[in-house]
Structure 1
């Protein structure tokens, strides 16, 4: 069967798995301020709405925990195919929802799929991509999430404005099944991960796949040969280890990587992206936006998110992981503090905002516009820095034997905090109003120090070279100075090939 070899085409279709996450975020955030939704589901209060929103994250947590075993046993490609079908089933359940319990069940099922795709798509892409562009390829996963958010939000906006009654959200939620079907069909034409094949000792297939991806089908290409040697060595070391369980991820030789992988995903959530994405309509309503103006103002935010990540992806491997994470945490801390200060000094408590009893703080006029402006600034910074980089970093830090389960555990850290914050933010806006932003500013302050002192640089290295980075005693802020051995090995192979060719030429003469 024909297999796609262009890494950019593989990334474009493979990361539809990330788009599923984006679809599910907007499939809820777009409706929380729409009368058709609130009337049909009994005007859920802040606690119930938080539970409905967070239910998808609960399913995603379970899916990401199971994903490592599924992916190691069936392979990267087949596990994503299974996730595609789970997603389609979840979309159908949501589309037919008759009450809150029915809706929550559909979101949990969809979440199971998102847990698998969000954790294993970065693994799959990182194992297919060459080291020099791995960051931008894995980063497409986050960009796909953002495109999913924007596309679904626009669909929801069109349904909310143009269709009356429950049909509006049913059509919207039913459309979610389409990208799942596209992903399932596309995966038939994808190669399996060469590193997974090597882990199963299917050496010929692994070499053929590396040649397909990195050598235009030429097994003797120096890049292919060097990478195959590194994959063989990584697989040999992996086979010497015992079977991996979650407990082994905290063993003496791996716990630092696990700490980096899990914490970068947790910090991505605690940076405050949930405030901007899940409850964007709430923020704009508090700032004086009403009705359709609140909805299209949210569209602008999603456009900014897509644009900033898209601009950063071509440069993300040049800038490096540490620098982006540090810039993002410091700048977002400042933005959160500014929003909190403006809301505290210029806003005032109310019993409800535009009849929405979930909101008890209002800030209008120029101050309200300032809150909206800084919400846009936050989204831009998040899109440039933590949004793509956290997924990239978590997919890089684990060696072959631990990668699927390690990234699955990292993603589960993302999802359990996603669940907690999706539930927390709605009641927080109701109970502590502007102080919500103070909490996120403190998180940003703490993560800055954690990243600086504990995260080594991984950009521009093969996955096997990253093992060396973690095994050295070099301080994390100096790991960017460790020499890149991959380029040297390629030069040696190229030199060896030239010598052989020269000898052959002399013999002919």
Structure 2
């Protein structure tokens, strides 16, 4: 809920006259738009720094302590943002707040994936993002209510301070949660890991728990052949676990999710509904209503994520968003062209654009939102999972920063063409998804080492080798080394 709240909290702060005066961005010049967009983008810079910190320390101090450390950063950032008096103060506050949020949003999905059963990892992360969108809905309507009932200063300072409540709860509750069993096994605490696996599995037997424990231990032994001091180097050079390929896939899915266009609708929702021809309070009300459909879309994601798998959801999502955004661009053009000559037709087109925005958001929430966060936590071996997921999150922050900086200019410069631009980007993304993205749903995390041991980057080669492996075409002796197993096939 904190992640959703924090990532959406600037949507109505950016247009608050009191906030703009304190930041010195109320002169009406082009510099103002750049400065306002820059403050939004600085959060993404901090987000990337927070992810890197997780990569450096999560394996040393454990997942739970790492979560608590992220809370400390985020609380400090919230306090500084709520008390900001000028642009420089707010800039540093946004970076620090981004560090905390990036820290938490990197480590929590890792912890979830390492704790969850293989056939429910996607559903667990989908539940988390349902709560994230609930947080986004809370902050949107909190800000709207404050704008209508309180002073302008209160309307932006109070919502920024309110998120500390989420963080204090996380910090105090974390010690009562179980540590990742995979982390415990890695540091030699096998008995604790065994107990957690028994308690975290539904209708399991001791034999199944021991089998999972043995698979994790075997994977750790294989991964231990990669010397820790050179780990960052092996992540960008060639190694037998093909870590570099996994980084490209993990970072790629995070970059692509930003280029689906979700930020130009979610972060700048009121502006997009203004493109639909609405004025006054209607754009803000429609943008707030869109959050309800966005949150509801996660119910479908919970159901589909592990049933259809990650590949299919990404392919279905991008195809559907391409078609919907093309329709949105056409309707938006007709709306503008007929605004003076045919107001009735223009109004109907405006209603159509609104429907497109709602449908698009629902599609994204039910397909891409969960997939892009769970996929990077699944594809990396345990020895580099924290660092690999951190790199993917850094890619998310860089792409998010770029998109949020240029979207205001795009909306002003090209108007309805912004729909067409992002529609074409969704179409282009179908190619790498189909060719290179291996299915991870309903598979043990340790099985991914065998899937990625294949020299070929194409998904069908990895799937064919993995099927032969599971069908018993390779001896148990050779299964201990994924690269050797695939070489034999």
**Which of 401, 404, 423 is the equivalent residue of 1:422?**
404
Matched, 1:370 2:357: no
Deviation per residue, 1:324-349 (Å, 9 max, x gap): 00011111112222222333343269
Matched, 1:251 2:237: yes
**Which of 139, 143, 152 is the equivalent residue of 1:165?**
152
Matched, 1:231 2:207: no
Q: CA contact under 8 A between 1:215 and 1:224: conserved in structure 2?
A: no
Q: CA contact under 8 A between 1:461 and 1:486: conserved in structure 2?
A: no
Q: Which moved more, 1:409-418 or 1:41-50?
A: 41-50
Which residue is 1:180 aligned to? 167
Deviation per residue, 1:385-425 (Å, 9 max, x gap): 11111111111111111100000101111110001111111
Question: Aligned partners of 2:470 and 2:265: how far apart in 1?
Answer: 40
| Matched ranges for 1:5-44 at <5 A | 19-41=1-23, 42-43=25-26
Cα deviation, residue 251, structure 1: 3.2
User: In the superposition, relative to structure 1, how do residues 87 and 364 fare at CA in structure 2: closer, same or farther (>3 Å)?
Assistant: farther
Question: Aligned partners of 1:487 and 1:291: how far apart in 2?
Answer: 64
Question: Aligned partners of 1:295 and 1:372: how far apart in 2?
Answer: 12
Matched, 1:347 2:332: no
Deviation per residue, 1:47-68 (Å, 9 max, x gap): 1221121121111011112211
| Matched ranges for 1:98-497 at <5 A | 98-214=85-201, 221-243=206-228, 245-252=231-238, 253-347=242-336, 365-472=347-454, 475-477=458-460, 482-483=466-467
Deviation per residue, 1:467-490 (Å, 9 max, x gap): 2222246851576675599999xx
Q: CA contact under 8 A between 1:304 and 1:376: conserved in structure 2?
A: yes
Deviation per residue, 1:46-99 (Å, 9 max, x gap): 212211211211110111122111211111111110101111111111111112
Q: CA contact under 8 A between 1:191 and 1:209: conserved in structure 2?
A: yes
Cα deviation, residue 320, structure 1: 0.8
Cα deviation, residue 286, structure 1: 2.6
Q: CA contact under 8 A between 2:338 and 2:346: conserved in structure 1?
A: no
Deviation per residue, 1:107-136 (Å, 9 max, x gap): 211100111112111111000001111111
**DSSP-derived class of the 2:227 partner:** coil
Question: Aligned partners of 1:167 and 1:331: how far apart in 2?
Answer: 41
TM-align CA RMSD: 2.5
Cα deviation, residue 207, structure 1: 2.0
Question: Aligned partners of 2:125 and 2:471: how far apart in 1?
Answer: 21
Number of residues paired by the alignment? 456
**DSSP-derived class of the 1:32 partner:** coil
Which residue is 1:73 aligned to? 60
**DSSP-derived class of the 2:120 partner:** helix
**DSSP-derived class of the 2:10 partner:** helix
Structure 1 unaligned residues grouped into runs of 5+: 1-18, 351-362, 489-509
**DSSP-derived class of the 1:68 partner:** helix
Cα deviation, residue 272, structure 1: 0.6
Question: Aligned partners of 2:201 and 2:169: how far apart in 1?
Answer: 26
User: In the superposition, relative to structure 1, how do residues 24 and 487 fare at CA in structure 2: closer, same or farther (>3 Å)?
Assistant: farther
User: In the superposition, relative to structure 1, how do residues 77 and 487 fare at CA in structure 2: closer, same or farther (>3 Å)?
Assistant: farther
Q: CA contact under 8 A between 1:321 and 1:459: conserved in structure 2?
A: yes
Instruction: Normalising by structure 1, report the TM-score.
Output: 0.84
Q: CA contact under 8 A between 1:40 and 1:166: conserved in structure 2?
A: no
Deviation per residue, 1:264-305 (Å, 9 max, x gap): 111011111111111001111232323332222111111111
User: In the superposition, relative to structure 1, how do residues 477 and 374 fare at CA in structure 2: closer, same or farther (>3 Å)?
Assistant: farther
Instruction: Normalising by structure 2, report the TM-score.
Output: 0.88
User: In the superposition, relative to structure 1, how do residues 478 and 139 fare at CA in structure 2: closer, same or farther (>3 Å)?
Assistant: farther
Deviation per residue, 1:123-182 (Å, 9 max, x gap): 110000011111111223322321221111121111111112201211111101111111
Q: CA contact under 8 A between 1:122 and 1:138: conserved in structure 2?
A: yes
Matched, 1:94 2:76: no
User: In the superposition, relative to structure 1, how do residues 407 and 174 fare at CA in structure 2: closer, same or farther (>3 Å)?
Assistant: same
Which residue is 1:51 aligned to? 38
Question: Aligned partners of 1:300 and 1:165: how far apart in 2?
Answer: 22
Q: CA contact under 8 A between 1:33 and 1:281: conserved in structure 2?
A: no
Q: CA contact under 8 A between 2:71 and 2:167: conserved in structure 1?
A: yes
